[in-house]
């Protein structure tokens, strides 16, 4: 009887460890996918001016995509674009595009991808990210970003600049 209980206890412990390993792997995959989708969407907006008739005459206060090296494996990436939705317009106006500036980086102590909007607070947006490095940049076309994750895997992500206005 003791042998059977010991065997069942060992089987239970093995099952719990396997479940924990699978959970961690799944969370890592979800974090990687979240980081990739966020960067593809928001970095792809660089240089977007809107769709109204005045769009082509809008100018930016600075470059629409800036890569700032921090270390050999870390960059901060800043993009500028005009937000033409979800903006509170003054009374009587129905369309009022506003220039936005987003900066992405990595907090290496907390292992998080961070996002800062318009010089505000630097907020953690995805856990498990330890590196962000721009590998290639073709102005007006796109860039390749290498993301490094807490489990030491890396993913190279091609990001198209979705906007011919630049």
pLDDT digits (tens, 9 = 90+) for 96-150: 888 999 999 999 999 999 999 999 999 999 999 999 999 998 887 889 999 999 9
List the structure tokens of 15: 């099952």
Whose CA is closest to 131, among 150, 114, 147, 115? 147
3-state SS class at 18: helix
Q: Is 21's pLDDT higher than 70?
A: no
pLDDT average, residue stretch 66-89 = 86
Determine the Cα–Cα distance for residues 105 and 155; give it in Å rounded to an integer. 16
Element (H, E) at 30: helix 2-43
Determine the pLDDT at residue 116: 96
Determine the pLDDT at residue 26: 67
By DSSP bridging, strand 129-138 and strand 154-160 are unpaired
Distances (CA, A) of 6 to 2, 20, 38, 45: 6, 21, 48, 59
Q: Please, which pLDDT band fits residue 166 given cuts at 50, 70 and 90?
A: very low
Determine the pLDDT at residue 128: 92
pLDDT average, residue stretch 46-68 = 87
* For the chain, percent of residues with pLDDT exceeding 90: 36
Q: Please, which pLDDT band fits residue 56 given cuts at 50, 70 and 90?
A: confident
Q: Is 160's pLDDT higher than 70?
A: yes
Determine the pLDDT at residue 75: 92
The domain locations on the chain are: 2-160
Q: Is 53's pLDDT higher than 70?
A: yes
């Amino acid at each position: 009887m003791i042998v059977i209980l010991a065997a069942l206890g060992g089987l239970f412990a093995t099952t719990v460890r396997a479940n924990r390993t699978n959970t961690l792997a799944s969370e890592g995959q979800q974090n990687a996918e979240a980081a990739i989708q966020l960067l593809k969407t928001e970095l792809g907006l660089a240089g977007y001016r809107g769709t109204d008739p005045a769009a082509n005459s809008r100018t930016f206060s600075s470059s629409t995509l800036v890569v700032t090296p921090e270390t050999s494996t870390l960059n901060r990436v800043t993009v500028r674009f005009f937000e033409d939705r979800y903006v509170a317009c003054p009374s009587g106006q129905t369309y009022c595009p506003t220039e936005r500036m987003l900066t992405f980086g990595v907090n290496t102590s907390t292992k998080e991808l961070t996002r800062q909007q318009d010089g505000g607070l630097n907020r953690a947006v995805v856990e498990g990210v330890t590196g962000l490095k721009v590998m290639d940049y073709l102005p007006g076309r796109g860039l390749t970003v290498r993301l490094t994750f807490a489990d030491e895997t890396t993913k190279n992500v091609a990001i198209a600049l979705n906007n011919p206005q630049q």
